[in-house]
Structure 1
Amino acid sequence: MDEQSFNELLDSVHWMGCHMRGEAEAGRMTEIADPDVKAIREATGLSQSRFALMIGVKVKTLQNWEQKRVRPTGPARALLQIVAAEPQVAIRALHGRAA
């Protein structure tokens, strides 16, 4: 290992120690906003029951997401991002026809 790489590694270890002791805050922080499920559904023009059926969740689950009692995660969150980006394309792909 060359001297520059060693010094960069040493600085990194030092910074980590400061962070763990609470002497420094994280240098980077990425915050991803929760999807606005109600707005996404409304953009499709579908009712709660039809939208829930289309994305494969129970109506109660969709209602909980829309009222922000529960956050969608994993594949559901990814699917909602796709629907938000291209509602009509997503509907055709998932339903085989436009709404």
Structure 2
Amino acid sequence: MNNDTFTELLSSVQEGADILRGRRPPSREFDITFQDVKAIRERLGLSQRQFAALMGVSIDTLQNWEQNRRKPRGAARTLLLIAAKHPETILDILKTA
């Protein structure tokens, strides 16, 4: 790795640490709304039971997301972002599972 690449990578890591510690705001945020969760599920053509199984959550949790009582976080939020941008990837995974 050359010095320029290393310096850029180090700067990114330091920026990420500052964001996590609340020292600076993120440059962008990706928020999943309750409409998004339902729309993603429907676009994939999955029932609530199927989508909950895919996400590794209970049907109650999925319904809480879809009814805006809770927000997806962590790995589930990331998987939803992937499903929203690249539904073909999720469908491909389902075919091979």
TM-score normalized with structure 2 length:
0.63
Q: Give structure 1 stretches of 5+ with no counterpart.
A: 1-25
- Determine the structure 2 residue equivalent to 1:85: 85
Change (3 A) 1:46 1:31: same
Instruction: Name segments (4+ residues, structure 1) moved above 4 Å.
Output: 26-31
Deviates more, 1:61-70 or 1:84-93: 84-93
2:46 aligned counterpart, secondary structure: coil
Q: Give structure 2 stretches of 5+ with no counterpart.
A: 1-23
Whether 1:39 and 2:39 are equivalent positions in the alignment is yes
- Determine the structure 2 residue equivalent to 1:3: none
CA RMSD of aligned residues (A): 2.3
Structure whose CA Rg is larger: 1
- Determine the C-alpha separation between the residues in 1 that align with 2:51 and 2:26: 36
- Determine the C-alpha separation between the residues in 1 that align with 2:25 and 2:51: 40
Kindly indicate which of the two structures has a greater share of residues assigned to helix.
2
- Identity among equivalent positions (%) equals 47
Deviates more, 1:86-95 or 1:40-49: 86-95
